[in-house]
Structure 1
Amino acid sequence: MKHKPESQAKRVAVKTEQENAVQEKHEIRPGQSLELLKELHILTRDGKMNQDSRRKLKQVYHLYQFIEPLLQQVRASHGSVSVVDHGAGKSYLGFILYDLFFKALNDGGASRIYGIETRDELVQKSRELAQKLEFPGMSFLNLSVADSTSSSALPDQIDIVTALHACNTATDDAIEFALKKKAKFMVLVPCCQAEVAAELRKGKGEVLKNNPMSEMWRHPIHTREFGSQITNVLRCLQLEAHGYQVRVTELVGWEHSMKNELIIAEYKAQPLKRAAERLNQVLTSTGLESLSSRFFTP
């Protein structure tokens, strides 16, 4: 008895499923824990990915490409590696870093990732997941970025500090933390720079009379946009004044976020006097002198 041929629709469905399986297999890095991806809800329980989870994975992997060379450089310098991730949230980045890099180090626990997060429920969930996956080199602390600077739960020196979409002044607190901890590298994706825009609005009347460049933030929508832009300019000048070499690029891969600026800073022990002078000039010319304590220089 002859079997009836498969319907065209069924053949297409089978082919599509096979193609998706191949695509997902190639999207996941070799050695990546599938159990971790399931726990982070990047993979479903049956190992599938939807469009949203595929985007999340692409985002974290893309950022990992920037951070992995920094991890390797630190390890080559002194063996162990310490990372503090500020505003960790669900610790997607921390877990991926640990899974792809830290768990293979076998350095007796000398290397460690610290996740700093203010929401206690997320801290507890991250602790439970690290224990479940047997990731002993991960610690999670229920602290604000500002409070972490003086916390005894963290070592005196940290190699790499990350702050991804830490809102408003939390990015500046992360920079202050990194400066105090003598970080070799900083990886920052700033977000929601509202403080500077608010200060621009306060002094707008007086500055508008004396500075023709203030036309760049005369209208409210421009105030918000210019405030965001000038905040990151001030941060870069501050880092250079403290001896960091700064690279600013677009974080390609975070297509669904308007906050797409990536700042990578490497300590070179060569403070730039001109950067400090420029920073103070920018503060003065924009009427932002009140923020000099936040964008402090050596």
Structure 2
Amino acid sequence: MKKNKPAKPAAPVQQDIAAQLGLQPGQSLELLKALHILTREGKLNQDSRRKLKQVYHLYQFIQPLLEELGQGDHAVTLADHGAGKSYLGFILYDLFFKNLGRGTIYGIETRAPLVESSQRLAADLGFERMVFLNMSVADSTRADFMPERFDIVTALHACDTATDDAIAFGLEKRARAMVLVPCCQAELAAAMRQNKALHLARTPLAELWRHPIHTREIGSHLTNVLRCLYLEACGYQVTVTELVGWEHSMKNELIIARYTGQKKRSAAQRLHELLAQFGLTEALAQRYPAIQAEDQ
């Protein structure tokens, strides 16, 4: 008598994609597919998982600011600089602005094809209060059709001096908060390479950037230190933390600045002293105009 073969175990039930991603109620899976974060079948590759994790973590920091600044039926204005494919802007709109019924997101990006793609997607989704501009941060600061004041300025992995441009925009527009994740800080490292031999003879501190890899690392770290001091000198309370775990991104420093109006003279003084100590005063003379003007 033949023995019946044991039945094959039932295929494991596929986990609900929303649960896997930790999506909030009402969040659009179609948006994530349109952004190519998910495939048409709703699958997620490892690179997209990292990208989505970064955006979600950043949203957790931005959401309390949106809720606070949007009180009293205020229509929050948010500028997203170096928007790229506007992952951050679209998810902010989907999670917060869409159901609120007020407030506008401005995505600012220099690459025309990305701006055009974002404009089409916003139209397809009915995200009416998303505006995409094909221009530099500096040009957007001077554009007369932009709001005179913005509530929040964001810059997620804006490369090199684009983060400084976003800060300059925030200062010009009297932003109530800035949320910045800097990337690829090369300007200061290049300046530090000049006259390196002179600095080595002048101070043992120059050993910190004698080797090229140290120049890059010290230059990156010092760039963000100077940015924080500048923001404090301009009346912002600054918090610096990690965005996500280092396994997800090496560009992981998150700077959150909230305007208090209390300008720290000691921060401006320290900034000047650091520039002098590292031989950067002349090279970065135009980088911090707000405190340069006050010193004159």
**TM-score of the superposition, structure 1-length normalised?**
0.91
Alignment of 1:94-109 (within 5 A): 94-107=89-102
Aligned to 1:65: 60
- After the TM superposition, which residues 232-243 of structure 1 pair with which residues of structure 2 at under 5 Å, given as runs? 232-243=224-235
Aligned to 1:163: 155
Q: Partner amino acid for 2:109?
A: E
8 Å contact kept, 1:59–1:254: no
Question: Which one-letter code corresponds to 2:265 in the other structure?
Answer: K
**Could you tell me which residue of structure 1 aligns to residue 287 of structure 2?**
294
State the partner residue of 1:207.
199
Alignment of 1:283 with 2:283, yes or no, is: no
Query: 2:171 — aligned with what?
Result: 179
Task: Write the distance in 2 (CA, Å) between the matches of 1:263 and 1:154.
Answer: 25
Structure 1 gap ranges (5+): none
Residues 161-194 of structure 1, C-alpha deviations (whole Å, 9 max, x = no match): 0011111111101100000000000011111111
| Distance in 2, Cα, partners of 1:204 & 1:259 | 26
CA distance in 2, matches of 1:132, 1:227: 43
Greater alpha carbon shift after TM alignment, 178-187 vs 20-29 = 20-29
Contact persistence 2:106–2:130 (CA under 8 A): yes
Q: Structure 2: 5+ residue runs without aligned partners?
A: none
Q: Does the 8 Å CA contact 1:24/1:49 hold for their aligned counterparts? A: no
State the TM-score, normalizing by the size of structure 2.
Answer: 0.92
Match of 1:33 among 12, 28, 32: 28
Aligned residues: 288
User: How far is 1:29 from its partner?
Assistant: 1.8
Deviation digits for residues 22-55 of structure 1, max 9, x if unmatched?
A: 6745622211011111101122223232333333
Report the Cα offset of residue 106 of structure 1.
2.0
Instruction: Pick from 78, 81, 90 the counterpart of residue 86 of structure 1.
Output: 81
Match of 1:154, SS?
Answer: coil
**Identity over the aligned pairs, expressed in percent?**
62
Matched, 1:56 2:51: yes
2:8 is aligned to 7
Q: 2: distance between equivalents of 1:262 and 1:77?
A: 28
Indicate the RMSD between aligned Cα atoms, in angstroms.
1.9
After superposing the two structures, state which structure 1 stretch, 43-52 or 62-71, moved more. Answer: 43-52
Q: Is the 8 A contact 2:17 2:42 kept in 1?
A: no
CA distance in 1, matches of 2:230, 2:28: 39
| Contact 2:81-2:108 at 8 Å conserved across structures | yes
**Which SS does the other structure have where 1:139 is aligned?**
strand
Change (3 A) 1:40 1:273: same
* Cα-to-partner distance string for 1:104-157 (whole Å, 9 max, x where unaligned): 1123xxx10000001101100100000000000000000111211111231110
